[in-house]
Chains A and B, each alone.
Chain A
Amino acid sequence: MKQNEAGVIVKVAGPLVVARNVPNAKMYDVVRVSGEKLIGEIIEIHKDKASIQVYEDTAGLGPGDPVYTTGAPLSIELGPGLLESIYDGIQRPLDQIKILSGDYITRGVEAPGLNREKSWNFAPAVRAGDKLSAGDIIGTVQETPIVVHKVMVPPGKSGQVTKIEGGAKKVTDIVCVLKDGDTIHELTMMQKWPVRIARPYLEKLVPEMPLITGQRVVDAFFPVAKGGTACVPGPFGSGKTVIQHQLAKWADAEIVIFVGCGERGNEMTDVLIEFPELKDPKSGEPLMKRTVLIANTSNMPVAARECSIYTGITIAEYFRDMGYSVAIMADSTSRWAEALREMSGRLEEMPGEEGYPAYLGSRVAGYYERAGRVKCLGSDHREGALTAIGAVSPPGGDLSEPVTQNTLRVVKVFWGLDANLAYARHFPAINWLTSYSLYTDMVDNYINENVAPDWSLLRKEAMRLLQLEAELQEMVRLVGLDALSAQDRLILEGAKSIREDFLHQGAFDPDDAYTTIKKQYLMLQTVLSFYYEGLKALTAGIEIRELLTLPVRTNIARAKFIKEAALDTFTSINQDLKQQIALLVKKQETLKEALNA
């Protein structure tokens, strides 16, 4: 490359490099820095100086080193081969990097996002002569046993098919040619898309289906909709990552994108080891077959961390465009915000709250707004949904900090994690009093229609008991348990049973980790019927003490371990409960009669 085609570095400060006279510098264009061709992105232009955030370690760079422009914004490759991959923040496959550079990530390694060598069996879905518009499906590839990859006409292109070819194809082979007036579009199975721009759709729709996660506290109390947004803030050790992993494992989304953003390396390894082994409850295939992982661990370059959530959501949007229900989990968005803060500090921008840049709120909102249920591009008007779930790691567990607050402003579901619950090993440590979901009514309707008509009644009743419990606890703290009426004691016991026997769920127990809605309903019903039957017994004059020692209570407590195949067990538990209480009442009556006589 000739000297005059390159800019020259004048300043290096950590991941920030300032270069002079970068030819055709445009905001957010990708540049290649120094002889090693490190990848960077222009994030500020000041006269002839461009500030560049470099996605790799900048040690060894110095003034005088060249900077080359590519003239294109940061884009990723979309096509068959995404699933089962693990990428870094700028879509370089980590398994390829390991082959190229060994156990440690060295810089300047280049590897394409999609495997160029692998052939896929492309099955055309259109014929020569068909008129296609952007988003239309030209053919399919069975990417994994559970996912059919739909190859689409990229946004902005349309025309009449002049040639279409099926069979074994590589991602770069031309499979379809479109003629649009005088222009000819040659389509491959791969398209590129700039990560910072949301992929287009026809129309946004309001979510109307729950995302069933198998997590009882989530599905029953704080459900999230397909196409909805949720956040999980909590101090360290409260189980954010376990919840994110549980959702990634069990949520009934067709595609799952998991972004490890500035988190632990071992956690990504855990996912990498576990997901290929875990079976999807519906298809029986390994979960990895529907998963894409983005790993930018905390010790990897900070600028690439900033980018990783955009890479993730762009891949998610791409699958949504095929008409799938996609869920993206980002763990943790706080680390992403910190990366923003670090770059902002190095740019010497005026800081907003706690040193975060003033545009933090709009960036957060911009990210979550890319979620949603949409009518996709394409003439078949298929629908796709993208659910975004973000973990937030507030410093010191203080929810008033800027990242949490900006997130709460845009998301519809808040799962507030509670350190005290975590200390008592109540997992998932989602606090039932502070959390909320704005989708409950919609989800209630859905479950009432599809599972049981009295679902919403049970749910509201359970919530009421938990609320009452909190109030009564205050009183107990002042006056002691003995001062409570028998009815109030029963409320406490009922609420305790909801907490321990329903809400508490072991992520590592094979029978307990995932609960179907049907079983959730039965569990909730059983737990509540103890309260209702107990209430009747109390009116009949039974002592609360006797109710609390009923043998059936042990069975209720162990109901969570009942296998999905043996749900009849609940009927017998309910029968036992009624029988045992009836026995108490009968004994009481005989006693009364004896006294009267």
Chain B
Amino acid sequence: MLKEYRTVTEVAGPLVIVEKITNVKYEELVEIEIGPGVYRRGKVLEITEDKALVQMFENTQGIDPAGSTAKFLGKVMQFPVSKDILGRVFSGSGRVIDKGPDIIPDKLLNINGSPLNPFARDYPNDFIQTGISTIDAMNTLVRGQKLPIFSGSGLPHAKIAAQIARHAKVISEGAGDFAVVFAAMGITFEEAQFFIDDFKRTGAIERSVLFLNLADDPAIERVATPRLALTAAEYLAFDLDMHVLVILTDLTNYCEALREVSAARKEIPGRRGYPGYLYTDLATLYERAGRIKGKPGSITQIPILTMPEDDITHPIPDLTGYITEGQIILSRDLHRKGIYPPINVLPSLSRLKDKGIGPGKTREDHAGVMNQLFAAYARGKQAKELAVILGEAALSEDDQKFAKFSDAFEDTYVRQGENEDRTITESLTLGWKLLSMLPVAELKRVKEEHIKKYMPAGGGE
């Protein structure tokens, strides 16, 4: 029989203090009954002598210290998993909200997971074709990678994420069992519905698990949402051997919820009021992507975050970039020019690309073409900046060619349709076609034999 305490003494924001407790453990799950049959859950954040500081996972509205009872459940927060979670919708705190039956659990899993032993990890090196040239050819995604999309308010990150979820495939082998875990944190109903509709339209919904914490749901629930999603993903990937794509959106809202808890605890803040442990906390989410030696499944993460004021030095994108294996950055300029997907390739990066490309995986010339496109586009952009000040006539002959190249690059390489699914060969061929606009002496990043083999006739004088 669990003890029930009627000693809730303080409620402040997401925090509740329970006093005169005995035998309570750190991180223990707490259930507070705020009225007959109405329960709210939280976890122990700190215990000092007989006083427990509890962080609620659910709204604290309606908690009356005098009329509430707290029960310490003797376990950490768990999520019930079984094969039946596929196709289901859960709230941000893990309750079933699709009017379906409760999950009969195969297992109860600790939502915090455990750190994966680096020795047990298998290196991600299977190329995933997303059908988007700027990702496949230039910022290659591989299975088991965590590759965030750095976006801004009003940019079409949701469309891109849905497009990736729709087209992503591994070309080297049979597709395997594929699943999508989608966690919404504080996004609007419309945005969430966009994903759901897209999943429904393509039939992906049957292979999806959705966790929805919408903008009007309590902010503090968001702290648990990505952990629930990743727990489900780990079960699907490593118990059921599926290839899981996890989309987390929007991490900015998650971090804000974390800041709220930290501020309520009166902790010494780090940059911009975010807690000093934001890096560690984010790492416990992102590092749950990967592959395990000897297991066929994998978890690939695409977290989405909106950079406040498009500022990439803001702590959220900054710390994310230090943990994730690269980033896809969207550009407001390209978006204004009407280019979709507005992926700004220069600052975008996939750290694992080198292991996922090349002969046997994509094509022998991939690395060269990628580096050459980057270098040429960077030079073209520079030339164009110069032309703005001095006029195009002031550019050298070569620079004019590069400037022209960068326009063509944006217009035909970056730009593609929402349903256009380019294969990697198409993307590389298109790359060569663009490179043929440039003098061959300037193509220093591609190997000579590849120029001979792949450069379209008539290109590069």
A binding-site residues for B, Cβ under 8 Å: 10-14, 18, 57-64, 86, 94-95, 97-98, 101-106, 235-237, 241, 260, 262, 264-266, 268-270, 272-273, 295, 297-302, 335, 338, 341-342, 345, 351, 354-355, 393, 395-398, 419, 422-425, 476-482, 500-501, 506, 508, 549, 553-554, 557-558
Return the 8 tightest CB-CB contacts between A and B, nearest first.
Answer: A396-B313, A298-B283, A59-B27, A480-B394, A236-B321, A104-B114, A299-B287, A424-B378
Residues of A within 8 A of B121 (CB): 265-266, 268-269
Contact (Cβ within 8 A) B346 A424: yes
Contact (Cβ within 8 A) A63 B50: yes
Q: How far is the CA of A425 from the CA of B348 in the complex (A)?
A: 11
Q: How far is the CA of A60 from the CA of B396 in the complex (A)?
A: 69
Contact (Cβ within 8 A) B123 A269: yes
Q: How far is the CA of A13 from the CA of B51 in the complex (A)?
A: 12
Residues of A within 8 A of B386 (CB): 476-477, 480
Q: How far is the CA of A508 from the CA of B356 in the complex (A)?
A: 13
Chain A interface: which of B91-99, B126-134, B210-218, B273-281?
A: B273-281
- With contacts A104-B113, A297-B287 taken as known, whether A12 is within 8 angstroms of B47 at the C-beta atoms is yes
Q: How far is the CA of A398 from the CA of B311 in the complex (A)?
A: 13
- With contacts A63-B49, A269-B118, A299-B287 taken as known, whether A12 is within 8 angstroms of B26 at the C-beta atoms is yes
Contact (Cβ within 8 A) B318 A396: yes
Closest Cβ–Cβ distance, residue A474 to chain B (whole Å): 12
Partner of B120, one of A103, A345, A425: A103
Residues of B within 8 A of A64 (CB): 22-23
Q: Does B270 contact A (CB under 8 A)?
A: yes
Q: Does B390 contact A (CB under 8 A)?
A: yes
Contact (Cβ within 8 A) B46 A12: yes
Q: How far is the CA of A103 from the CA of B290 in the complex (A)?
A: 12
**Closest B residue by C-beta to A334:** B322
Instruction: Give the A-B pair count, Cβ closer than 8 A.
Output: 217
Residues of B within 8 A of A59 (CB): 25-27, 76, 112
Interface residues of B in 264-278 (CB under 8 A from A): 267-271, 276-277
Q: Does B331 contact A (CB under 8 A)?
A: no
Residues of A within 8 A of B25 (CB): 12, 59-62
- With contacts A270-B123, A338-B280 taken as known, whether A297 is within 8 angstroms of B118 at the C-beta atoms is yes
Contact (Cβ within 8 A) B117 A105: yes
Q: How far is the CA of A262 from the CA of B286 in the complex (A)?
A: 13
Q: How far is the CA of A558 from the CA of B319 in the complex (A)?
A: 38
- Interface size class for chain B? 35 or more
Residues of A within 8 A of B22 (CB): 64
Closest Cβ–Cβ distance, residue A523 to chain B (whole Å): 14
Q: Does B325 contact A (CB under 8 A)?
A: yes
**Closest B residue by C-beta to A11:** B48
Residues of A within 8 A of B66 (CB): none
**Closest B residue by C-beta to A506:** B371
Q: Does B107 contact A (CB under 8 A)?
A: no
Q: How far is the CA of A397 from the CA of B283 in the complex (A)?
A: 19
Contact (Cβ within 8 A) A557 B444: yes
Residues of A within 8 A of B318 (CB): 235-236, 395-396
Residues of B within 8 A of A476 (CB): 386
Q: Return 19 A-B CB contacts under 8 Å, by A number.
A: A86-B118, A95-B119, A97-B119, A105-B117, A237-B349, A264-B323, A264-B325, A298-B287, A299-B115, A299-B283, A302-B280, A345-B267, A355-B270, A396-B318, A423-B378, A425-B378, A425-B445, A481-B396, A481-B399
Q: How far is the CA of A397 from the CA of B312 in the complex (A)?
A: 10
Contact (Cβ within 8 A) A265 B287: yes
Partner of B28, one of A60, A262, A295, A479: A60
Q: How far is the CA of A419 from the CA of B287 in the complex (A)?
A: 24
Which of B113, B288, B375 has the most C-beta atoms of chain A within 10 angstroms of its own C-beta? B375
Contact (Cβ within 8 A) B292 A103: yes
- With contacts A236-B321, A269-B122, A500-B444 taken as known, whether A104 is within 8 angstroms of B117 at the C-beta atoms is yes
Closest Cβ–Cβ distance, residue A355 to chain B (whole Å): 5
Residues of B within 8 A of A264 (CB): 287, 323, 325
Contact (Cβ within 8 A) B276 A297: no
Contact (Cβ within 8 A) A237 B321: yes
Closest Cβ–Cβ distance, residue A113 to chain B (whole Å): 15
Contact (Cβ within 8 A) B118 A425: no
Q: Mark B193-209, 1 if CB is under 8 A from A, else 0.
A: 00000000000000000
Contact (Cβ within 8 A) A425 B395: no
Q: Mark B271-315, 1 if CB is under 8 A from A, else 0.
A: 100001101100110011010110100000000000000001111
Contact (Cβ within 8 A) B114 A106: yes
Which of A97, A236, A266, A396 has the most C-beta atoms of chain B within 10 angstroms of its own C-beta? A266
